[in-house]
């Protein structure tokens, strides 16, 4: 038997479990057109879900346990398990060190089943020895939107790894998800399993250079002093983009619509966010965990009465309770247009309803008020026309009272959000370092932007309508093409580096997914050793390049 054949047999044996699962077993399984995207198991797996109500059996002395992350003692146990047994780099010098608050944020988004935070305990002493989680999400593949789960945080204690519990844990979490009517999943791994639909690479941007060199995360460039290296990686003190501010919960409606529109328009495979509640959970600023920022257009505010704003929020909340929606690109565009049209169209109807409720002995006063209201409606419509046809008139209001209109009625100013960007933090423990116990690592998360030309973008001639090609790369990566005006992303990430520095981040990591490849040369990112493979469970798609993907797992 040749060594090659023996190696192939060992590889097959290592993946015996996966060859029994509804996943792509080889590259040939993925050599299909997007019109042939398919589930591997449909009726069979649904029948199994109905029939399989009993948990999978564990080895003697072990039992399943549903963790409650709201109980501090259980959260402490999970933190210790992950800190001591989760992912390490190849040298075992650095290891993920999720803190307790980050774990809670990651494993409990809206819609997560109580039994999807699954642990394994010792019957002898109740010690937590394993964990796996599932969280719900929507994913679109070429416009086909599916509700599936993210499988994450698979961790088995070192002392019981001889039992090969990972397959049993995966089977059990899938059973629990199947029972609730979900039959697909997405997951990532550094390991090569059957069979990734894309593979992304990490790139690193140093911020706290001296610390990174001290812990041997990076090294000083040849023929440079420490002072010169610090200068090379200097980050600005303040964000430079006009209208930049932290994300607020009130921004969720705009962010939901514009994020989904951006993701589904530019990327063949992407996340589709499910609700405002999901946006608020994932992106609300939490010190040391997640940071999100928007850019708002303060030159073109939308005006609505306070009453209209309150009513709109009540209606949205009721709709989310009754019918949560998975929005495709077309649905997002329609929703966005309806919101814009509703800013003016809803005013007249509401005022007419108020007039009808007036008492008869106030008719004279009502008539006078009607005239004033009609005049106000005309003013509002004129302002909307000015926005639609700026070439016809450039006259702008000299002042808008943010608290009251001409009659002293309360009103709100809504500033359109043009861009959004976020990052999260996961510490990496430094094994055995005498001075530093960990480094703080920021990871670029989701974003959207409105293409426009900035100081960093390549500006074509005024008559050009072609896509702007990415400039040369020193990392031997085939450059993709990006939409005209997409260079604004460089400015957004430059400013997010400022915020990362304020949050005491030591190094900022970016995967080469989405439009991120345009960042690396301009913002001094260096290629790392780490790669991340993306997999689907019970869903087969053709392979795509990482820049065609917009799914990011914590």
For residue 481, the model assigns a pLDDT of 66
* b/e burial code for range 143-169 (CB count within 10 A of at least 16 → b): eebbbbbbbbbbbbbeebeebebeebb
The structure tokens listed for 485 are: 């005006």
pLDDT in tens, 82-121: 999 997 655 557 789 999 999 999 999 999 999 999 999 9
Class level of CATH domain 202-296+418-530+545-550: alpha beta
Residue 63 confidence (pLDDT) above 90: yes
- The region, left, alpha or beta by phi > 0 then psi within -120 to 50, assigned to residue 111 is left
The pLDDT tens digits of the residues spanning 236-278 come to 999 999 999 999 999 999 999 999 999 999 999 999 999 999 9
Q: Where are the domains of the chain?
A: 3-198, 202-296+418-530+545-550, 302-389+399-414
3-state DSSP assignment of residue 262:
helix
Q: Which helix (H) or strand (E) holds 10?
A: helix 3-14
Alpha-carbon span 128 to 316, nearest angstrom: 41
**CA 62 to mean position of chain CA atoms:** 35
Cα–Cα dist 501/109, whole Å: 27
Measure the CA–CA gap between 94 and 89, rounded to whole angstroms. 6
Distance (Å, rounded) from C-alpha 256 to C-alpha 323?
A: 16
Minimal CA–CA distance to 262: which of 446, 120, 115, 121?
A: 446
Whether residue 145 has pLDDT greater than 50: yes
| The CATH number fitting domain 3-198, selected from 3.40.630.30, 3.20.20.80, 1.10.287.110, 3.30.460.20 | 3.40.630.30
Give the CA dihedral 100, 105, 109, 112, nearest 10 degrees.
-10
423 burial class (0-12, 13-18, 19+ CB within 10 angstroms)? buried
- In this chain, the answer to whether the domains covering 3-198 and 202-296+418-530+545-550 adopt an identical fold is yes
Pairing of the two strands 198-206 and 411-414: unpaired
Q: What's the CA gap between 320 and 327, in Å, rounded? A: 13
The region of weakest confidence among 58-62, 140-144, 358-362 is 358-362
Nearest 5°: the CA angle 515, 518, 519 is 105
At residue 49, the pLDDT reads 56
Q: What is the H or E stretch that residue 49 is in?
A: helix 43-51
**Whole-structure pTM value:** 0.77
Q: What is the CA radius of gyration of the chain?
A: 27
Q: Parallel, antiparallel, or unpaired for β 507-511 and 438-448?
A: parallel
Using pLDDT thresholds of 50, 70 and 90, give the confidence band for residue 431: confident
Instruction: Summarize the confidence of residues 196-218 as an average pLDDT.
Output: 96
* Ramachandran bin of 223, using left for φ above 0, alpha for ψ from -120 to 50, beta for the remaining angles: left
463 — pLDDT class (breaks 50, 70, 90): very low
* Candidate ranges 46-50, 128-132, 300-304; pick with highest mean pLDDT: 128-132
List, for residues 472-531, the tens digit of each pLDDT value: 232 233 345 677 888 899 999 999 999 999 999 999 999 999 999 999 999 999 999 989
């Amino acid at each position: 038997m040749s060594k090659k054949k023996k190696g192939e047999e060992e590889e097959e044996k290592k993946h015996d479990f996966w060859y029994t699962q509804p996943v792509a077993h080889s590259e040939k399984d993925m050599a299909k057109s997007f019109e042939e995207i398919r589930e591997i198991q449909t009726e069979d797996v649904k029948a199994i879900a109905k029939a399989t109500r009993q948990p999978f059996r564990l080895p003697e002395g072990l039992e399943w346990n549903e963790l409650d992350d709201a109980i501090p003692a259980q959260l402490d146990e999970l933190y210790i398990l992950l800190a001591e047994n989760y992912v390490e780099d190849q040298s075992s010098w650095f290891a993920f060190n999720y803190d307790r608050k980050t774990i809670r944020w990651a494993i409990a988004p809206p819609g997560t089943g109580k039994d999807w935070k699954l642990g394994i305990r010792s019957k002898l002493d109740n010690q937590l020895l394993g964990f796996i989680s599932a969280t719900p999400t929507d994913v679109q593949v070429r416009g086909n939107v599916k509700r599936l789960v993210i499988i994450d945080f698979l961790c088995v204690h070192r002392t019981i790894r001889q039992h090969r519990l990972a397959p049993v844990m995966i089977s059990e979490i899938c059973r629990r998800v199947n029972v609730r009517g979900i039959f697909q999943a997405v997951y990532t791994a550094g390991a090569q399993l059957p069979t990734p639909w894309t593979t992304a690479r990490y790139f690193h941007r140093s911020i706290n250079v001296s610390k990174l060199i001290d812990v041997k995360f990076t090294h000083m460039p040849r023929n440079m002093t420490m002072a010169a290296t610090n200068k090379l990686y200097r980050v600005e003190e303040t964000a430079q983009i006009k209208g930049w501010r932290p994300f607020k919960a009130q921004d969720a409606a705009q962010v939901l619509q514009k994020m989904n529109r951006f993701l589904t328009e530019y990327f063949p495979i992407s996340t589709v966010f499910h609700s405002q509640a999901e946006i608020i959970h994932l992106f609300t600023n939490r010190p040391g965990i997640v940071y999100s920022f928007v850019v708002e257009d303060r030159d073109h505010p939308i005006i609505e009465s306070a009453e209209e704003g309150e009513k709109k929020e009540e209606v949205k909340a009721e709709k989310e309770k009754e019918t949560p929606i998975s929005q495709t690109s077309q649905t997002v565009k329609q929703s966005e247009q309806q919101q814009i049209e509703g800013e003016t169209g809803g005013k007249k109807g509401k005022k007419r309803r108020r007039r009808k409720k007036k008492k008869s002995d106030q008719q004279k006063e009502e008539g006078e008020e009607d005239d004033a209201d009609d005049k106000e409606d005309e003013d509002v419509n004129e302002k909307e026309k000015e926005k639609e046809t700026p070439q016809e008139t450039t006259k702008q209001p000299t002042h808008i009272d943010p608290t009251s209109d001409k009659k002293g009625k309360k009103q709100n100013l809504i500033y359109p959000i043009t861009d959004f960007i976020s990052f999260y933090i996961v510490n990496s423990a430094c094994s055995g370092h005498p001075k530093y116990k960990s480094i703080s690592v920021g990871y670029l998360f989701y974003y959207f932007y409105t293409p426009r030309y900035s100081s960093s973008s390549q500006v074509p001639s005024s008559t050009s309508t072609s896509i702007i090609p990415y400039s040369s790369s020193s990392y031997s990566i085939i450059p993709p093409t990006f939409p005209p005006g997409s260079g604004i992303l460089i400015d957004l990430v430059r400013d997010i580096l400022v915020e990362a520095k304020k949050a005491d981040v030591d190094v900022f990591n970016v995967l080469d997914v989405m439009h991120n490849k345009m960042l690396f040369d301009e913002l001094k990112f260096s290629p790392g050793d780490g790669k991340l493979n993306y997999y689907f469970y019970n869903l087969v798609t053709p392979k795509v390049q990482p820049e065609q993907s917009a799914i990011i797992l914590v």
